[in-house]
């Protein structure tokens, strides 16, 4: 079964809107785990507009499943990851002012840069994943970095799914087959939802993990977080 990692950034956004500690990020992460989530994802950004660096340190001792930290590998981010030692780090090429992730790495252009960072994380036992677009060139050069996994950037799939599900998923299926052939594990994330996740999971082979935040937290406003996690996991059976 493909694992579900819940991205809790949006919960931190709600908290930060009023200050204080409501909702409590640590408690929310623990509840997600108790309701069946198989991982917790955070994506701290330099301006700390949602998840703060302090949150990452607070979460580390209480997470019992898998802790996945996403982000652009700036010196500050690398230092955070080395101190916290999550089970997985996902490298994302975000600009500091990006509202959300909007593209994968150019793994050919940044081959040396990524290879050096990945080696550093792997030396201390942290599994690495690179955020990539589903193209043959980017997948091939991702493998050259030595990364353990890739995370397929799925916004194009989500945008095209309503009008052409098969066309929307085709590149992702081929990318997963190639990545698996090259020895990498496959994760996926960005705009996956209850509407499009089941089909994606059925069509994309070797999928080990999905990281979902915005849609999942939005659904939880109507369904409650326990029922929402149950429904997302049903899509992954």
Residue boundaries of the structural domains of the chain: 3-235
Active-site residue, 43 included: yes
Please give the pLDDT value at position 95: 65
Residues in the chain with pLDDT < 70? 95-102
Beta-strand relationship, 149-153 and 185-189: parallel
Coil, strand, or helix at residue 144? helix
Q: Are 157 and 200 in contact (CB under 8 A)?
A: yes
Please give the pLDDT value at position 97: 57
Q: Which listed residue (33, 66, 190, 209) is catalytic? A: 190
User: Could you give phi then psi for residue 169, rounded to 5 degrees?
Assistant: -95, -15
Tell me how far apart the alpha carbons of residues 26 and 147 are, in angstroms, rounded to a whole number: 29
Please give the pLDDT value at position 94: 78
Please give the pLDDT value at position 214: 96
pTM confidence score: 0.95
Tell me: the pLDDT tens digits for 142-164?
A: 999 999 999 999 999 999 999 99
Active-site residue, 214 included: no
Tell me how far apart the alpha carbons of residues 122 and 116 are, in angstroms, rounded to a whole number: 10
Q: Pick from 151, 143, 156: which is nearest to 111 by CA?
A: 143
Coil, strand, or helix at residue 229? helix
CATH superfamily label, 3-235:
Aldolase class I (3.20.20.70)
Tell me how far apart the alpha carbons of residues 128 and 12 are, in angstroms, rounded to a whole number: 24
Tell me how far apart the alpha carbons of residues 4 and 129 are, in angstroms, rounded to a whole number: 16
Q: Which listed residue (43, 50, 66, 201) is catalytic? A: 43
Please give the span between the terminal C-alpha atoms of the chain, in angstroms, as a whole number: 6
Q: Which listed residue (33, 50, 66, 70) is catalytic? A: 70
């Amino acid at each position: 079964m493909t694992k579900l990692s819940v991205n809790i950034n949006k919960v931190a956004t709600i908290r930060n809107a009023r200050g204080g500690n409501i909702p409590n990020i640590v408690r929310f992460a623990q509840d997600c785990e108790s309701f069946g989530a198989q991982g917790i994802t955070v994506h701290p950004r330099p301006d700390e507009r949602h998840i703060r660096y302090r949150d990452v340190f607070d979460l580390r001792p209480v997470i019992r499943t898998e802790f996945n930290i996403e982000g652009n590998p700036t010196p500050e981010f690398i230092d955070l990851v080395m101190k916290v030692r999550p089970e997985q780090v996902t490298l994302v090429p975000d600009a500091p002012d990006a509202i959300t992730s909007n593209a994968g790495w150019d793994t050919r252009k940044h081959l040396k840069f990524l290879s050096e960072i990945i080696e550093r994380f792997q030396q201390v036992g942290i599994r690495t994943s690179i955020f990539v677009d589903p193209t043959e060139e980017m997948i091939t050069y991702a493998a050259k970095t030595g990364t353990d996994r890739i995370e397929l950037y799925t916004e194009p799939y989500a945008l095209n799914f309503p009008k052409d599900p098969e066309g929307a998923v085709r590149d992702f299926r081929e990318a997963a087959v190639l990545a698996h052939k090259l020895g990498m594990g496959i994760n996926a994330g960005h705009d996956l939802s209850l509407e499009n996740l089941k089909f994606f999971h059925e069509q994309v082979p070797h999928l080990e993990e999905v990281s979902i935040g915005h849609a999942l937290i939005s659904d939880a406003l109507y369904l409650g977080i326990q029922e929402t996690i149950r429904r997302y996991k049903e899509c992954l059976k």
